[in-house]
Amino acid sequence: MKENIVNIIEQAKVSTEVKKIGHKVLKKQRITYDEGVALFYEGELGYLGTLANYIRTNKNGDYVYFNRNFHIEPTNICVFDCKFCSYSKLLRDKTDAWELSEEQIYDIIKSYNGQSVTEVHIVGGVHPKMGLHYFAKLIENVKKIRPDLHVKAFTAVELEYMCRKAKVTYGEGLKILKDHGQDSLPGGGAEIFDEKIRAEICNDKCTSSEWLEIHETAHKLGMPSNATILYGHIEDYEHRIDHMNRLRKLQDKTGGFNTFIPLKFRNKGNQMSHIEESTITEDLKMYAISRIFLDNFDHIKAYWPMIGRASAQLSLSYGVDDLDGTIDDTTKIYSLAGAEEQNPSMTTRQLIEIIKDAGKHPVERDTLYNIIQDYSEQEELV
């Protein structure tokens, strides 16, 4: 395989610099910020896919992971006003706003009794009346209903506000949540770390340094997390690499990130609707370069509800090894922004078929990437 890759690198119609980067990848050498930027500007898509798939195969073989999960979004009422958001409503705006009661949330959990789901993902708007101790009690009760369920909850944006309102440090706040049953953090709220871009699109939410500090603190407490980027709006390639470089440095320090998830900006129903969305070519380039640059991340995830099933399947040839999960039509965050999947739900059978049709081996995982079931050779689908 390596000899074939060498030939592809040598024959590729790319610059000498980009060829040198390819050889560094084969030698498992870390590429620099400047080289990452060069891949965006000069890397041909097929070439990038070849390099990314080489790395992906070395790390994970032909496995593609998924899990059985569902989301709970307690509210879309939010104190922040992010320009790209199609989901949240200010407290004064009651149109299309929702606020689930505790009992409604528990009823959702109970509705999955007897089903082999392994994870609940809890995120939503930053509601001024739903604080740290409210959510700690909520998680404790969720665990009483389903002790086996992994609770992945609250973006760094939600956590910063919770801790600030409760007048506790990030460490204190996270420990309270962990002691009540929270297991890990999702990666949302990262958006773009560049401070100037962040000031334009989400000026009032937590800063880049706060996001990174919260995740570092979680890792030190033994709470793993995911990481994301929001791409395809007003940022440049340099901003994307800067963002990934900050994540790579933190991963070097803590090793606490499970996966990296590029999130495509969708322009429906928000204050940035005038911006055209990125093309599928640009999306695949983003996945491939993420896989090449983030050498210390074991997994790259394509969040299929955002980009659609067909594009997610394509991404499996551009460095992606995870498709998230079954979702079960339990999230509105991206469907409201015009995502491909307006009713995001896939059965285990459908996920397995998509992965097999791409020539990969489907594997059901838990949140921490422990293998629950390998469907590679299984003829009878669940």
pLDDT of the residue at 298: 98
Q: Mean pLDDT: which of 82-86, 93-97, 151-155, 274-278 is highest?
A: 151-155
Quick one: how far is CA 168 from the chain centroid? Answer: 27
Q: Mean pLDDT: which of 101-115, 168-182, 313-327 is highest?
A: 168-182
86 versus 323: the higher-pLDDT residue is 323
Q: CB–CB of 355/56 below 8 Å?
A: no
Asked whether residue 202 carries a pLDDT value surpassing 80, the answer given is yes
pLDDT of the residue at 1: 67
Q: CB–CB of 77/125 below 8 Å?
A: yes
Quick one: how far is CA 235 from the chain centroid? Answer: 18
DSSP code per residue over 113-132: TTS---EEEE-----TT--H
Pairing state of beta strands 63-67 and 322-325? parallel
pLDDT of the residue at 336: 46
pLDDT of the residue at 308: 86
How does pLDDT run across 290-349, given as a tens digit for each residue?
Answer: 999 999 999 999 988 888 889 999 999 999 999 988 766 444 444 444 445 445 567 788
pLDDT of the residue at 54: 96
pLDDT of the residue at 79: 78
284 versus 338: the higher-pLDDT residue is 284
Domains belonging to the chain, first-starting first, are 2-59 (no CATH), 63-374 (3.20.20.70)
**Among 9-23, 79-93, 281-295, which stretch is predicted with the lowest mean pLDDT?**
79-93
Pairing state of beta strands 150-153 and 63-67? unpaired
Asked whether residue 260 carries a pLDDT value surpassing 90, the answer given is yes
Q: How confident is the model at residue 5 (pLDDT cuts 50, 70, 90)?
A: confident
Name the DSSP class of 376: S
Q: Residue 250 has which token pair?
A: 């933190």
Selection from 159, 157, 114, 111 nearest residue 135 by Cα: 159
Name the DSSP class of 47: H
Residue type at position 183: D
